[in-house]
Amino acid sequence: MTCAEAEIVLHALLDGELDAGHAHDVEAHVGNCPRCATQLRAYREMQHAMLAAPLRFTAPTSLRRRIERALPSAPPRVASRRSMLKGFAMGTALSAAIAASLVIGVIRTDQDQRVLGDVFSAHVRSLQADHLTDVQTSDQHTVKPWFNGKVDVAPPVVDLTAQGFTLIGGRLDYIDGRAVASIVYRRRAHMINLFVIPGAASADHGAKLETMQGFNIQRWSAQGLEFFAISDINAEELNEFVEKFEAGFHSTGAT
Amino acid sequence: MLDRLQSQDLAAPWKDGDDVVVGNGSSDNNDKARRFRDAALPHLDDVYTLARYLLHNGADADDAVQECYLRALRHFDTYRGPAIKPWLFAILRNICRGEFGRRSRAALTMDGETEEDEDAVPLWQDAPVSPEMEMLRQWDANTIRRLVTDLPEPFREAIVLREINDLSYREIADVIGAPVGTVMSRLARARSMLRKAWIAEEGEEGLPT
């Protein structure tokens, strides 16, 4: 791969648009080319800065009212996710496949799903580019202090090496437009990203399994923190990870 | 050159023209309007965000977004997916490039000179490596918005659709009616321009804004 080619394709790498083979080609080039490596780093910084900044606009209430008034009939009401799905189910002209893609389009606007989407993207990004960890160490007492001042609340770091989940390090990532901590573990050849988001909206709740494009995501909250563990290991093992983590978290406190 | 063709809506299968009159009485229409609300209104902030970046002007953005929703409702019968957000974006883009584009063409350079040199200079000549590029300043949202808004139109819309509206390359290609390869080269160019502006901004620091 030449620099001129890499110059274009490294953006596809940043945007998570490359399959594993092409991603590997770009990474191989970047690994041998300081200039392209610098570019990739600078563009990634810029991308993170843009993700972290509130660059979106909110439609003015007056505009929302104008549009609602201009649409015929039916009193305006707040569309919940459930009612949106019901609306689509009633659209008999839609094939199942189209309905499915519609549902994805709509669900993604839901706050929860946006966070899940961010978790998924961050995980995939961390695997694709050479940026799995910012601080690489198996020592939990090194990982936790590293996050001080970088995120609002230093995350609990539990060493689970003895239980079969090797602590690899930590990384700063962006979920839902804010900087959050990710603790990185390894199970055999599989990576687990554990995202820790302060200020859980709901009370403590147990782990709930979600799947997204072949990845398993366990989410739960405890002590005001929202946790997302994502990996391509199977659901049972991920569940085991959650149990071990929770056990370590509660027995030692946030170490 | 491609963009000049697209500005005539050739790329959009849902282009305006065969207006369907929407009456107020029938239950079919009520049902359609309700389904449209449920599907389209949750994306209002997304559509408005794109309008603000495409048009520079808040009042024009309001009008364009309203027109977009009315036009989308008229064509909702013929809408067959894939996702509704890119579909709304494509309609909005046609509106912005049509009426609002004509209104402020001089100021905005919607078409023309900015694109002609799109492929003239190899990208890597834009960005010589220097140590100060390794750390980018963290600008606040208003500064970043201004830097993005100052980009020439085809590059601005590419980067807004990708970074701010979170569309995939395929979806961006559908919205702008161009091949994915064009999306990639525009994004590369857009980020290169934005990074230069980002770094140049440091020289402006301290000046009143």
The label of the residue with tokens 């809408």 reads B79
Quote the tokens at residue B18: 């065969």
Residues of chain A with pLDDT under 70: 73-111, 128-131, 200-202, 252-255
Query: What tens digit of pLDDT does each residue of A178-202 get?
Result: 888 999 998 877 889 999 988 765 6
Pair type for strands A166-175 and A205-212:
unpaired
Rounded to whole angstroms, how far apart are CA atoms B92 and B62? 11
Q: What is the mean pLDDT of chain B?
A: 74
Asked whether residue B32 is assigned to any structural domain, the reply reads yes
Of B66, B85, B122, the CB nearest to A70: B66
For residues A59, A64, A65, A69, the Cα torsion angle rounded to the nearest 10 degrees is 150
Q: Which of B108, B127, B156 is the last residue of a domain?
A: B108
A135 and A22, same domain (yes or no): no
Asked whether residue A63 is assigned to any structural domain, the reply reads no
Query: What tens digit of pLDDT does each residue of B124-147 get?
Result: 445 444 544 456 677 888 899 999
Q: Which range marks the domain in which residue A13 is found?
A: 3-52
A:B CB pairs within 8 Å: 168
Total number of domains in chain A: 2
Contact A79 B37 (CB under 8 A): yes
Q: Which range marks the domain in which residue B139 is found?
A: 113-204
Query: What tens digit of pLDDT does each residue of B6-33 get?
Result: 333 333 444 444 334 444 445 666 777 8
Q: Which of B108, B142, B169 is the last residue of a domain?
A: B108
B137 and B157, same domain (yes or no): yes
Rounded to whole angstroms, how far apart are CA atoms A212 and A191? 16
pLDDT at B209: 45
Q: Please report, for the domain that includes residue B180, its CATH number.
A: 1.10.10.10
Of B46, B70, B81, the CB nearest to A70: B70
Quote the tokens at residue A69: 């008034």
pLDDT at B26: 56
Distance to chain A for B107, nearest Cα, Å: 22
Contact A47 B44 (CB under 8 A): no
pLDDT at B151: 93
- Contact of B75 with chain A, judged by CB distance below 8 Å, is answered with no
Sorting pLDDT into bands at 50, 70 and 90, what band is B82? Answer: low
* B125: helix, strand or coil: helix
Sorting pLDDT into bands at 50, 70 and 90, what band is B108? Answer: very low
**Mean pLDDT of the region B92-120:** 59
Enumerate the residues of chain A whose CB falls inside 8 A of the CB of residue B66. Answer: 63, 66-67, 70
- Contact of A111 with chain B, judged by CB distance below 8 Å, is answered with no
Q: Please report, for the domain that includes residue B33, its CATH number.
A: 1.10.1740.10
Sorting pLDDT into bands at 50, 70 and 90, what band is B92? Answer: very high
- Contact of A179 with chain B, judged by CB distance below 8 Å, is answered with no
pLDDT at A87: 45
Q: Are the C-beta atoms of B3 and B182 separated by less than 8 Å? A: no
Quote the tokens at residue A108: 């993604």
Residues constituting chain B: 209
CA atoms within 13 A on the CB side of B124: 17
**Does residue B40 or residue A154 have the better pLDDT?**
B40
Interacting residues of B127 by C-beta distance below 8 A, sequence separation 6+: A39, B133, B192, B195, B196
Rounded to whole angstroms, how far apart are CA atoms A54 and B131? 28
Quote the tokens at residue A33: 């080319």
Distance to chain B for A45, nearest Cα, Å: 7
A140 and A229, same domain (yes or no): yes
B151 and B72, same domain (yes or no): no
- The pTM of the full predicted model, rounded to 2 decimals, is 0.53
Contact A17 B168 (CB under 8 A): yes
Asked whether residue A236 is assigned to any structural domain, the reply reads yes
Q: Please report, for the domain that includes residue A198, its CATH number.
A: 3.30.200.100
Preferred mutation among A13, A19, A47, A50 to probe B, highest tally of B CBs within 10 A:
A50
Contact B44 A49 (CB under 8 A): no
Asked whether residue B59 is assigned to any structural domain, the reply reads yes
Query: What tens digit of pLDDT does each residue of A131-180 get?
Result: 677 777 778 888 888 888 888 887 888 988 888 888 888 888 888 878 88
Rounded to whole angstroms, how far apart are CA atoms B80 and B36? 13
Which residue type does B180 have? V
B176 and B191, same domain (yes or no): yes
Asked whether residue B53 is assigned to any structural domain, the reply reads yes
Enumerate the residues of chain A whose CB falls inside 8 A of the CB of residue B33. Answer: 71-74
Distance to chain A for B106, nearest Cα, Å: 25
Q: Which of A52, A71, A92 is the last residue of a domain?
A: A52
Highest mean pLDDT among A13-27, B90-104, B163-177: B163-177
Distance to chain B for A72, nearest Cα, Å: 6
Enumerate the residues of chain A whose CB falls inside 8 A of the CB of residue B29. Answer: 72-73
Contact B33 A42 (CB under 8 A): no
Which residue type does A173 have? D
B93 and B161, same domain (yes or no): no
Total number of domains in chain B: 2
- Contact of A235 with chain B, judged by CB distance below 8 Å, is answered with no
Distance to chain A for B118, nearest Cα, Å: 13
**Mean pLDDT of the region B55-61:** 85
B153 and B192, same domain (yes or no): yes
Q: Which of B108, B138, B160 is the last residue of a domain?
A: B108
A241 and A155, same domain (yes or no): yes
pLDDT at A58: 92
Neighbours of A114 (CB within 10 A): 16
B33 and B101, same domain (yes or no): yes
Asked whether residue B197 is assigned to any structural domain, the reply reads yes
Asked whether residue B209 is assigned to any structural domain, the reply reads no
